[in-house]
Amino acid sequence: MDDKHSDLNAFFDAARRDSVAMPDGLRARILADAGRVQGGVALTAPAGQTGFFERLREVLGGWAGIGGLAAACAAGVWMGFAPPAAMPDPVAILMQNSETQVDLFASETLQMAMAEDF
């Protein structure tokens, strides 16, 4: 490291030897100015504990997030009671008097595949 930076060491040594003192009164003026500026800053009181609903509002992203959540909830309720044609109507299924058989696992297809001889 000494070989690489030997030309800079001479400058650093010269800077260490030359100590430039601050002009008289400069330090006092700087400290007086700093005291005046700090004295003008009012300390704010620490904020009190926030309530549950305020924290929940912050977690959900403010009023915009709550509005989006309410719109999504309304859309879900709407689709649940009046679904599009491609979706089954859950209210009609619940209101039927006859029994409805729904094959959730496609067991007939599975049984047919298992019955085939290879």
Q: What is the pLDDT of residues 54-96, one digit of tens each?
A: 989 999 999 999 999 999 999 988 887 777 777 777 777 777 6
Indicate whether this model's pTM tops 0.75: no
Domain-located, residue 33: no
* Total number of domains constituting the chain: 1
Q: How far is CA 83 from CA 75, 91, 92, 93, in A?
A: 10, 10, 11, 12
Domain-located, residue 41: no
The helix-helix angle for 52-59 and 62-81 (nearest 10°) equals: 80
Q: How far is CA 32 from CA 29, 42, 58, in A?
A: 5, 18, 43
Report residue 112's pLDDT band, with 50, 70 and 90 as the boundaries. low
Contact indicator for 83, 90 with CB cutoff of 8 Å:
yes
Domain-located, residue 23: no
Tokens read off for 72: 């999504």
Domain-located, residue 13: no
- What's the domain range around 101? 53-115
What is the structure's pLDDT at 10?
A: 83
What is the structure's pLDDT at 79?
A: 81
